[in-house]
Copies of this chain bind each other. A is one copy, B any other.
C-alpha cells in the first residue's frame, strides 16, 4: 500500500502513540459506569475526573468542574450557543457573531433565529479578521451572547479574542469562542482570552474524534443541550464515552507538555511550505493571515484551476488535502469564508486547505510541493479558463 502523506490534519489528526496505548488499555480494563455508587463506579469516576483535570490544565480553567465533556466540538458549540440563548432569553434576544464562523455556529444560530432570536453577523476585513470596534457597535441592551471563533477552520486566521472580551466584559455580555481548531495546536488560555465559554475538540490535539469539551466559566448562565441524568455536574446528561475521554485526557497532558516544541515544529513546516511555494507554482493567493494564524494551516487559492480536481489528483499521488471544511463536504457552493474575504467565486473554487501535523516531516513538504507543481501544470494545460485568461489558444 502506498505511503500516504496527510496534509489534511484539519479533518483528522492521527492519534499519538501514547493516546493509542491509553485507549487500548481503557478498552481492556472496561470500566464500569462513573455514576454507579459501588466500588467499580467509583473507580470509573476517578478516571473520569483525572481526565477532566488534564483538560482543565490545557486551557487553564480555574477549576476542573468548569470543563464539560461533550461528543466533540460540534456538540460543544451547539451547547454553548443554544444553551446561553435559551438560558438568558429573559434578559434579551440578540446575538452577535461573525460571518466566517463554522457551520456549527451558523446553523445553531439559524435554528435560534427561527425561534425569534435576532442575530448580527459581522463582516471581516480583507485579512479575515473581525474588528473589535464592530463588536462594540453591534452590542445593544438586548445582546445576551457574542460568539466569535478563535481560529478559522478554512484559513487558520486568528481572531482578536482578547480585545473582544474586554468589550463583552465591559458590557456584561456572555462571550463564547469556538476554538475547535486551536486548542492543542497553540496555547489557548481562557484566563488570558477572557472568554466565558470555549469549545474544543480532542482530535485537534491528537486525541480521538467524537469527544470534545466545553469550558464554562463558573457563574455563566447556560442550559444543558442534553437533558436527562445528572452527569457532568448536571450540565450534560448521558453515560460518558469514557474510552474517548481517557484518550482525550492523555492527549491533553501531552499537548500541555509539548506545546512549545509542537508549535515551533509546525510553524517550521508551515514556513518552509510558504517560503518554497513560489519555486513550484505561480499565480496563487494565500488566504491565511501572515501573522495571526494557526501554526499548522495554509489556505492556498491556486488560480485557473478547480480545487476538487487538485484534491483528487494529489490523492492519486498519496497526498491528502482538503478543499474546505470536511463538515461541508457535498456542498457545491463556494465557501462562505473565502467569499467573505473578498475572493472571487473562481478563486474560491481553486482553494486548497493545507493542514500540517506533528507526523509530517520537512521531506513531506518537499514531496507535496513537487506533486502540486505537476498537478497544477497538468490541470492548467487542459483548462479552458487558464488558456483564456492567459491568452493562449492552441
Which A residues are within 8 Å of any B CB, using their own CB? 4, 6, 8, 11-12, 14-15, 20, 23-24, 27-28, 30-33, 35-41, 44, 70-75, 77-78, 102-105, 107-108, 110-111, 201, 203, 208-211, 223, 225-231, 237-245, 308, 311-312, 314-315, 320-323, 325-331
Contact = CB atoms under 8 A, between A and B. Distances in A.
Contacts of A24: 24, 27-28
B104 A40 contact: no
A44 B245 CA distance: 21
Contacts of A209: 33, 239-243
A30 B36 contact: no
A74 B226 contact: yes
A230 to B, nearest CB: 5
A242 to B, nearest CB: 6
Given A40-B6, A331-B230, A208 B238 contact: no
A322 B37 contact: yes
Contacts of A40: 4, 6, 8, 12, 320
A83 to B, nearest CB: 11
Contacts of A240: 209-210
B8 A241 contact: no
Given A32-B8, A75-B238, A209-B241, A229 B326 contact: yes
Given A4-B40, A225-B225, A326 B27 contact: no
Contacts of A239: 11-12, 72-74, 201, 203, 209-210, 326-327
Nearest to A45: B329
List of 9 A-B pairs having minimum Cβ-Cβ separation, nearest first: A210-B241, A229-B327, A74-B238, A104-B228, A71-B71, A107-B227, A11-B33, A35-B326, A12-B33
A378 B3 CA distance: 66
Given A35-B329, A243-B243, A229 B104 contact: yes
B8 A38 contact: yes
A38 B321 contact: yes
Contacts of A111: 223, 227
Given A71-B75, A107-B228, A238-B74, A15 B27 contact: yes
Given A37-B323, A107-B227, 8 more contacts: A11-B239, A20-B27, A24-B28, A37-B329, A70-B71, A78-B237, A210-B245, A241-B241
Nearest to A323: B37
B38 A243 contact: no
Contact of A237 (B103, B203, B238): B103
A325 B36 CA distance: 9
A12 B32 contact: yes
Contacts of A244: 210, 241, 243-244
Given A78-B228, A241-B210, A38 B315 contact: yes
29 contacts: A12-B31, A12-B239, A15-B30, A35-B329, A37-B322, A38-B311, A39-B315, A40-B320, A70-B71, A71-B238, A72-B238, A72-B241, A74-B228, A78-B228, A103-B228, A104-B226, A104-B237, A110-B227, A209-B241, A209-B242, A209-B243, A210-B211, A210-B241, A210-B242, A211-B241, A225-B225, A230-B329, A230-B330, A237-B327
